[in-house]
Copies of this chain bind each other. A is one copy, B any other.
């Protein structure tokens, strides 16, 4: 993700050119994310990845060790990039709805910029069993926990209600995150939908609720 999705040919160098390990590794991971994201874990072949990266297969194995390790590495890199993007969009201390808005905007912006990375995390990693599913689950739980906090905080801001029972709030956070994920997929598949629109829709939906919307009081983005 770091950098855009690799295009048809390795960005950095012609095949055979020597270069520092870190850079080569990044090229390979770029190729791997693109391939895994488009084809899926099983359908992606190490041959295709190596070719897209512009290196020979043995080099991929030398650096990344195995297909499984390579996929795990992709998941971790993309998860970190996503969390980083969202975290970077938020200003701690602001009102909860501002933070949620900012986080969603950053989220939709990032998933639109890195569709292959998002596919790896959301579609591929979660459907390929145990070593991998757990890796995304960890990241996802982090995010759900953060959203849970935001909702609780919002309730406190609204009328000092000290704590909504955690058992009621967590499922709401699940629903919100799930809706965000679905909208990210939908936005990537629907030409012309911007990150801002997706975020607005979701804020409307989750913050104001349908009922409020119907009463002519839609939530609207700040500024």
Contacts and interface: CB of A to CB of B under 8 A. Distances in A.
Interface of A: 39-43, 123-124, 126-129, 151, 154-155, 158-159, 161, 164, 171-172, 174-183, 185-186, 193, 197-198, 201-202, 204-216
Given A41-B42, A171-B197, 8 more contacts: A40-B128, A171-B201, A172-B213, A178-B182, A179-B179, A179-B182, A207-B209, A209-B209
B198 A154 contact: no
Contact of A212 (B41, B128, B193, B211): B211
A210 B42 contact: no
A212 B214 contact: no
Give how many copies assemble into the complex: 4
A214 B183 CA distance: 24
Nearest to A202: B175
A215 B211 CA distance: 13
Given A159-B215, A209-B212, A178 B183 contact: yes
A185 B127 CA distance: 12
Contact of A178 (B161, B178, B209): B178
24 contacts: A39-B129, A40-B40, A123-B127, A124-B127, A127-B127, A154-B210, A154-B214, A158-B215, A164-B213, A171-B186, A171-B198, A172-B205, A174-B186, A175-B179, A175-B183, A175-B201, A175-B202, A175-B205, A178-B180, A178-B183, A206-B210, A207-B211, A209-B210, A209-B211
